[in-house]
Amino acid sequence: MKRHILILEDDLELARLIKAYLQDQGFIVTHFSQAHTALKQLPEQQFDMLLCDINLPGKNGFEFVQEVRAEFAGPILFMTALTDTKSQLKGYELGAEDYLVKPINPELLLAKINVFFKLDRQVKPQQTLFQMGNLTLDTNSKTSYLNGEKLNLTSAEFRLLTALLAQFGHVVSREWLFQHHLGREYDGIDRAMDGRASRLRKNCN
């Protein structure tokens, strides 16, 4: 089955180039230039990944992701010219799997996309319902419950919780999480995983 990718990007030439490249690689690609249009279509179509610009007319990319993150279960990648640390941290806090700084290299983008889809296949267990004490995870609906109450987790936080549950009883290092959850090596500086783990801990308390 072909993966369906949504591109939210107001640079029409860049969007055209990325769309054509990814379609040549076998993906189904839908492009929107404004968030409000994408919001209308998101419930109508089955998307596997969001590629999202930040500086958009009207509702920006951060606002868009904040609005859809509870319902959308696939990976979210920001593509933006914003290079400051504050913007990057905000992107990760909103549940994005990665943050790509423009100009975008199509081959590098493809490599990152393939990593996240590969990781999704690796961590997706055959069993769909997991019970650990008072914690329940449903990997089909991407929902989790603590003491019978639904947890409001982003898609990234849900995948992190699933990965940690699969390693229950073992010590999990930051390096392991970067490699197996984010698909990249830990550089000794990046604190994206720290923030994600901290938010997950707060949600589960």
**pLDDT tens readout for residues 94-140:** 888 889 999 999 999 999 898 888 765 544 445 567 777 788 888 77
What pLDDT shows up at residue 79?
A: 94
Grouping H, G, I as helix, E, B as strand and the rest as coil, residue 146 is strand
Other CB atoms within 10 Å distance of the CB of residue 74: 20
Average pLDDT of the segment spanning 61-66: 92
- 10 Å CB burial of residue 49 (0-12, 13-18, 19+) is buried
Collect all residues with Cβ–Cβ distance below 8 Å to 178 and sequence separation of at least 6: 184, 185, 186, 190, 193
Model pLDDT for residues 22-46, shown as the tens digit of each residue: 999 999 999 999 999 999 888 788 8
pLDDT on residue 125: 47
Q: What pLDDT shows up at residue 124?
A: 47
CA distance 127 to 140: 9
Q: Which phi-psi region, left, alpha or beta, contains residue 188 (left: φ > 0; alpha: ψ -120 to 50)?
A: left
d(CA 21, CA 7) in angstroms, rounded, equals 12
Chain segment 154-185, per-residue pLDDT in tens: 777 787 887 777 777 677 787 777 776 666 67
Closest to 130 in 3D by CA, of 118, 149, 145:
145
| Average pLDDT of the segment spanning 143-157 | 81
Of all residues in the chain, the percent with pLDDT exceeding 90 is 34
What is the reported pLDDT for 121? 53
Note whether 108 and 51 are within 8 A (CB).
no
- Worst-scoring range by mean pLDDT, 15-24, 128-137, 143-152? 128-137
Predicted pLDDT of residue 181: 64
Query: How far is the C-alpha of 96 from the C-alpha of 103, rounded, in Å?
Result: 19
Q: Where do the domains of the chain lie, and which CATH numbers do they carry?
A: 4-122 (3.40.50.2300), 125-204 (1.10.10.10)
Local structure of residue 27 (DSSP, 8 states): -
Reduce the secondary structure of 37-90 to three states and give it as a string: HHHHHCCCCCCCEEEECCCCCCCCHHHHHHHHCCCCCCCEEEEECCCCHHHHHH
Q: Which residue has the higher pLDDT, 6 or 156?
A: 6
Q: Is the pTM of this model over 0.75?
A: no
How far is Cα 42 from Cα 35, in angstroms, rounded to an integer?
Answer: 10
